[in-house]
Amino acid sequence: MMTKKIILLSLVIAACLHCQSQVRKDSFGEKLLTKGLKISKSVKIKKQTYKLDASASMNEALIIIEGNNITVDFNNAILKGSNLKKNPDEFFGVAVLIRSGSNITIKNLKARGYKIALMAKGIINLTIENCDFSYNYRQHLNSTQEREDISDWLSHHQNEKNEWLRYGAAMYLRDCESPIIKNTKVTGGQNVLMMTNCNKGKIYNNDFSFNSGLGIAMYRSSFNTIAYNKINFNVRGYSDGVYNRGQDSAGILIYEQSNNNLFYKNSVTHGGDGFFLWAGQTTMDSGKGGCNDNVLQGNDFSYAPTNGIEVTFSRNIISGNRVFECDHGIWGGYSYNTVIAGNQFRQNKIAIAIEHGQENEIHHNIFYENKEAVRLWARKEQPADWGYAKNRDTRSRDYAIVNNNFNSNPIVMNITRSEKLNVFDNIYNEYDTLFKIDSTVIGFDTTFDEEISQKLSVDSAEYVPDIPSPQNAFTGNSVLAGRKNIMMTEWGPYDFRSPIIWNTNPTDTTGVMKFDLIGPKGKWKIKRFKGVKDISLMNGTFPATITAVKTADTRTDILIELEYIGSAITATFGENVAAGKPYTFSFKKFFQPIDFDVLWYAYDFKMHDPIKTGLIFPPTAKFAPIKEEKTTKLDYAWWGGIKTEEGDHPQFVTTASGSGVFEKGNYELGVTWDDAVRVYVDGKLVINEWDPSLYKFDESPHKTIKLALDGKHSFTVEHVEVGGFATLSLKIKKL
């Protein structure tokens, strides 16, 4: 009897627990997110902030979604990862992995603090909508306003084995068919959307702006439509008036056999390149294929530090775009059968620059106030190791330059080593040199050609995509027009969402520093300062301009700390600061001189390899330096080796020894190098990077260590370059 009662009681308890579970599910219909959660059917997530770290392994994920006909509504829940990490270059893990299935929709998800916010592999009909993947992984940038650091350069040439993953991404898609990404936002990261082997997708009505790497990147991806997106300020490697490098950042990157994509009415301003297309290593090796038949129509690619549009080794259509104030409006090296029509080029260094181009049509464009409008040329010789040059005709030939309007371009056409050019029916106004050509130009024909004229007078086709409710991606662009608005911080481009004090004359040597104070509406005041004097204003409202005088000292140790009170703001790492709440921001500049004696040596590494032996010099040999220098800093970059009066030396050794007197404190020592380096402090080896094989990518690495210093300290640097590009840069920062 007792046994029956126990059994009955157990059944009642189980039933109650089941009912309780059912009541919770039926009442709320929402699921809590947990680490390791697997989702295989449609679900709505309970809205809250989930502080969940992902695994450090890129082969795992915090949440896994797989199956067919699934909609996961995250209900504006926030996934926050890397919760014990402060800086975005420390973020790790994959938040959401969609790894198999079809007809999967992800919507209303916010994820931040991860190396990859969302990864999808092998999905048919994936839709991502109304998501926000801002403030995920991004590298710390080592370049300053005064000088770029080569370690900030990016390299995207290979992604067969997911090499791009090392840079992180808000969204990383591979082998996805017909993906749709719409109404999604990404800011404050490095790379936004990276796609490999993804075809027939639609990417529209998104805002992918103010990131430090790439907006949209494609690799072996074709027949996609990219339309009506804001893809502005995806940039690095720029200091206004000092250097404009871009460092292979871009608004849109198209690599390796990506064909028949349509780019329509996107705003892609202030990118390292606006649009960067490269045919890929397959084409470079074989001369075949390319990134062909892509259409760029009605976009704005203005204000790029380097090229508004770069299209190389391929055949494409570029029509109706705006390209203002770039180094090159279009860089079209080895482009062939490419149409450049109906575009506006204004205030570029060179509007259209094409080397070794063939059968290209340039017509019905407007060129205004470019230093040069069109430059066409060919080199005397091709690189011996290029399969492309061995398998293709690479002459510069067969151009039609017709019905263009050239106004206020000092040099209209600058042409060398080119042949068969038809140039007629153009309008020329206010120029210094109309045709700058020499004896290497053959067949430069300015007579009217009826057949060419009729062919090029036909209205260009407009490839209008079928997109529901398209946004106007150009709204508000005029407010930030101009390259001067690219202000690179150590974490990426300034996004105008919080106050900043910006040094406008970083290379000035007079001792007078000029600053712009920029930010939302509000008041500012200087709380404390050191290393400067005679500050022109101590408080005010935004915007403002102030000056300060450097305090005379061998060491530069400047701090200007300010307080802001005003409108609600979003700070550098995405922190929201309420209106009226004090917010501290600052300007810092530090330079500790070290009296270095630098010596360079060149010898045949076949006789003695310092990498393999670990010895700078052969034990029984003596060498005289080919060059020597006294300096207070190490900051070098060499292309093609060291150049001396005796000739070029592609292989060389650098030794630098010196000392400096430090104030007591904690410091960060960082070194950028290529190919090998060792750093000693007070005779102790603190950085040992003597094996170049550890670094597989075409990049110059950078490494930092923390040091506690006080008083006089000695430093020794040993550096080896085995050939090719070389760099050596040592920086010390006060923490």
* Spatial distance between the Cα atoms of 506 and 487, rounded to a whole number of angstroms: 12
| Of 253-257, 592-596, 616-620, minimum mean pLDDT range | 616-620
What is the structure's pLDDT at 656?
98
Show Cβ contacts of residue 296 under 8 Å, excluding neighbours closer than 6 positions.
263, 275, 309, 316, 317, 318, 319, 321
Beta bridge partner(s), residue 169: 116
* Spatial distance between the Cα atoms of 388 and 522, rounded to a whole number of angstroms: 58
The 10s digit of each residue's pLDDT in 383-400 is: 888 999 999 999 999 999
| Of 451-465, 567-581, 646-660, 718-732, minimum mean pLDDT range | 451-465
* Spatial distance between the Cα atoms of 258 and 276, rounded to a whole number of angstroms: 12
What does DSSP say about strands 63-80 and 43-44: parallel, antiparallel, or unpaired?
Answer: parallel
**CA separation, residue 95 to residues 48, 121, 328 (Å):** 16, 14, 39
Please state, rounded to an integer, the average pLDDT across all residues of the chain. Answer: 94
What is the structure's pLDDT at 7?
40
Mean pLDDT across the stretch 407-420? 98
The DSSP element (H or E) to which 2 belongs, if any, is helix 2-28
Model confidence at 18, in pLDDT bands (50, 70, 90)?
very low
Residue 461 clears pLDDT 90, i.e. is over it: no
What is the structure's pLDDT at 1?
40
Of 27, 9, 31, which is closest to residue 19 (Cα–Cα)? 27
Residue 8 clears pLDDT 90, i.e. is over it: no
Model confidence at 28, in pLDDT bands (50, 70, 90)?
low
Residue 523 clears pLDDT 50, i.e. is over it: yes
Residue 313 clears pLDDT 60, i.e. is over it: yes
The 10s digit of each residue's pLDDT in 178-220 is: 999 999 999 999 999 999 999 999 999 999 999 999 999 999 9
Token readout for 701 is: 């690495």
* Spatial distance between the Cα atoms of 138 and 115, rounded to a whole number of angstroms: 8
**CA separation, residue 90 to residues 7, 150, 554, 672 (Å):** 55, 21, 34, 19
By three-state DSSP, how is residue 283 classified? Answer: helix
By three-state DSSP, how is residue 25 classified? Answer: helix
Show Cβ contacts of residue 635 under 8 Å, excluding neighbours closer than 6 positions.
147, 728, 729, 730
Mean pLDDT across the stretch 562-583? 97
Length of the chain, in residues? 735
Domains of the chain, residue spans: 496-591, 595-734
The DSSP element (H or E) to which 405 belongs, if any, is strand 405-407
What does DSSP say about strands 123-129 and 294-297: parallel, antiparallel, or unpaired?
Answer: unpaired
* Residue 410 main-chain phi, psi, to 5 deg: -50, -45
Cα atoms in the Cβ-side hemisphere of radius 13 Å centred on 272: 28
Cβ 253 vs Cβ 214: under 8 Å: yes
Of 57, 37, 55, which is closest to residue 46 (Cα–Cα)? 37
Residue 307 clears pLDDT 50, i.e. is over it: yes
Residue 3 clears pLDDT 80, i.e. is over it: no
* Neighbour tally for 697: CB within 10 Å: 13
Show Cβ contacts of residue 263 under 8 Å, excluding neighbours closer than 6 positions.
226, 227, 252, 275, 294, 295, 296, 297, 299
What is the structure's pLDDT at 27?
41
What is the structure's pLDDT at 604?
86
What is the structure's pLDDT at 697?
85
What proportion of the chain, given as a percentage, has pLDDT over 70? Answer: 96
What is the structure's pLDDT at 460?
73
Residue 26 clears pLDDT 90, i.e. is over it: no
The 10s digit of each residue's pLDDT in 78-133 is: 999 999 999 999 999 999 999 999 999 999 999 999 999 999 999 999 999 999 99
Q: Is 38 exposed, middle or buried (CB count within 10 Å of its CB: 0-12, 13-18, 19+)? A: exposed
Domain 595-734 is found in CATH 2.60.120.260:
yes
Residue 292 clears pLDDT 70, i.e. is over it: yes
Identify whether 543 is preceded by a cis peptide bond (ω within 30 of 0). Answer: yes
Cβ 262 vs Cβ 239: under 8 Å: no
